[in-house]
Amino acid sequence: MYRLLKYTFKPMLTPLILLIVISTSMFGSSLSVPIYYTTSVSFGYDSNIFKLSTEEMDNATYEPLILSDSETFDSAIIRPELKIKYNPVLFGNHETKVVAIAKQKIYTSSQSKGYTSYSISINQHLGRYKWLKIRYALIPNFYLRMYKDKDLINDIPVECDFSSENLSIDFSFPIIKKTWANISILNSHLFYNENFTEFDVDIYDYRVKLSTSLFRQFHAKVWFIYGEAENISFDTNYISTQDNRAYTHSLLGGGVKYQYSQTYAISGSATIDNRFYLSEVEDDPLHSGREHIDFTIKLSNSFKLNQNLILDISSKFRQKMTDSEFNWVENLKNYNKFEVWVTFKYNSYMDLFY
């Protein structure tokens, strides 16, 4: 089993290039293929970076720590990204795709909210339209906001952040003409800092996705996810761990892309995520019997400016609606936000092995 080394920096570009060089010397010309890369930079805006409810926004004047190091609820964002793709042929005519991604989010109004994420995946071709994909992703440190620690005597909020890693396995195969299915299993770990270890969870998600390009210029997909989150720090001799934060969730999503021309495409997607907390303890009103629906809708326009440069303009709206026996819980946990993004992508390649 794998385990995250908290808050460590693990650059992937240098090890990936070394792996490719060593493999090429071992396997010969079958690995002597170009390395493709995409560099991109996005400029965005988030209307609610701390996911605050209306009630929390109203109280921010009296509780300034709720905004951490920010003076506003919103922020402009800069998001640079680097993607490396390497597609050797290792087994007969079966292509192998290795993809490494590193990206960063920089919030202009809050230094704390910025974070970096990494992922690496191996996609192995098995047969006609059949692929097996293994992916690992890591976020060393993701800052949420200031919260009150139940294990401390004082009532002063402290910083809450977590680190996460996930490992997924995905198998795709054809069903009918221009229609295929994906079956995935995803295991995620969320490890919170020492003040909030009561929220540590181990999550298993099971996903089924159907995709089709049966209709000319249209690509459509629909997916369903069922997940279970185990509260791995539950009942570990601390006051705050006496409440179980385990939950189940089910997510239904769909999307469509219309390729209007070779240089322009429009796409949209929507998801509904229903989470239900398993706690039935009367002394835990924040979680007992609580559930919520998290609704997200995305719209995107993509313009191919030339052979190498792409411009994406997108927007996203998200709303979380909580159902609880207590009105104060609903008022505390409901929120909405929207984002807009302008992204420039540059695609090219390197012939390192020629």
CA end-to-end span of the chain: 39
Cα dihedral: 62, 65, 67, 69 (round 10): 140
pLDDT tens-place string over residues 326-344:
888 888 889 999 999 999 9
Q: Establish if 7 belongs to a structural domain.
A: no
pLDDT at 134: 96
pLDDT of residue 1: 36
In a domain, residue 161? The reply is yes
Q: Token match 């993509």: residue?
A: 302
If one counts the domains in the chain, the total is: 1
Q: What is the pLDDT of residue 353?
A: 57
What is the average per-residue pLDDT within 53-69?
A: 85
Q: Please tell me the distance from the alpha carbon of residue 100 to that of residue 121, in angstroms, as a whole number.
A: 7
More confident residue, 196 or 310: 310
Instruction: At 147, list the tokens.
Output: 């919260």
Distance set, CA 302 to CA 77, 142, 242, 261 (Å): 20, 29, 49, 11
Residue 95 lies in a domain: yes
Is residue 321, in this structure, part of any structural domain at all?
yes
In whole angstroms, give the CA distance from residue 21 to residue 91: 18
CA distance 218 to 255: 11
CB neighbourhood size of 92 (10 A): 8
Percent of the chain with pLDDT over 70: 87
Q: Evaluate if residue 17 carries a pLDDT over 70.
A: no
User: What percentage of residues in the chain have a pLDDT greater than 90?
Assistant: 63
Task: Tell me the mean pLDDT in the region 245-249.
Answer: 92
Structure tokens at 179: 């229609």
**Ranked by mean pLDDT, which of 18-32, 277-291, 322-336 comes out on top?**
322-336
Residue 5 resides in a domain: no
The predicted model scores a pTM of 0.86
Average pLDDT over all residues of the chain: 87
Among 9, 60, 17, 13, residue whose Cα is nearest residue 39:
13
Point out which residues pair with 317 in neighbouring strands: 297, 338
Confidence of residue 243 (pLDDT cuts 50, 70, 90): confident
Confidence band of 223 (pLDDT split at 50, 70, 90)? very high
Specify the pLDDT at position 66.
84
Across 1-28, average pLDDT: 45
Q: Which residue has the higher pLDDT, 28 or 74?
A: 74
Q: Report d(CA 332, CA 328) in Å as an integer.
A: 6
What pLDDT shows up at residue 169? Answer: 97
Please give the pLDDT value at position 334.
94
For residue 79, the model assigns a pLDDT of 98
SS3 sequence of the chain = CCCCCCCCCCCCHHHHHHHHHHHHHHHHHHHCCCEEEEEEEEEEEECCCCCCCHHHHHHCCCCHHHHCCCCCCCEEEEEEEEEEEECCEEECCEEEEEEEEEEEEEECCCCCCCEEEEEEEEEEEEECCEEEEEEEEEEEEEEEEEECCCCCCCCCCEEEEEEEEEEEEEEEEEEECCEEEEEEEEEEEEEECCCCHHHCEEEEEEEEEEEECCCCCEEEEEEEEEEEEEECCCCCCCHHHHCCCCEEEEEEEEEEEEECCCCEEEEEEEEEEEEEECCCCCCCCCCCCCEEEEEEEEEEEEEECCCCEEEEEEEEEEEEEEECCCHHHHHHHCEEEEEEEEEEEEEEEECCCC
Q: Which domain holds residue 165?
A: 13-350
Q: Is residue 4 part of a domain?
A: no
Selection from 126, 298, 112, 274 nearest residue 193 by Cα: 112
Domain annotation covers residue 209: yes
Token pair, residue 111, equals 């230094």
CATH code of the domain covering residue 333: 2.40.160.40
Task: Quickly state the pLDDT bin for 30 (edges 50, 70, 90).
Answer: low
The single-letter code of the amino acid at 124 is: Q
1 domain-assigned:
no
Q: Residue 269: pLDDT above 80?
A: yes
Convert the pLDDT of each residue in 148-171 to its tens digit. Answer: 877 666 778 889 999 999 999 999
Residue 141: pLDDT over 50: yes
Own/partner pairs, 321-324, CB within 8 angstroms, 24+ separation = 321/292, 321/293, 321/294, 321/295, 322/290, 322/291, 322/292, 323/290, 323/291, 323/292, 323/293, 324/285, 324/289, 324/290, 324/291
pLDDT at 119 over 90: yes
pLDDT (average), residues 70-99: 91
Across residues 297-311, what is the average pLDDT?
96
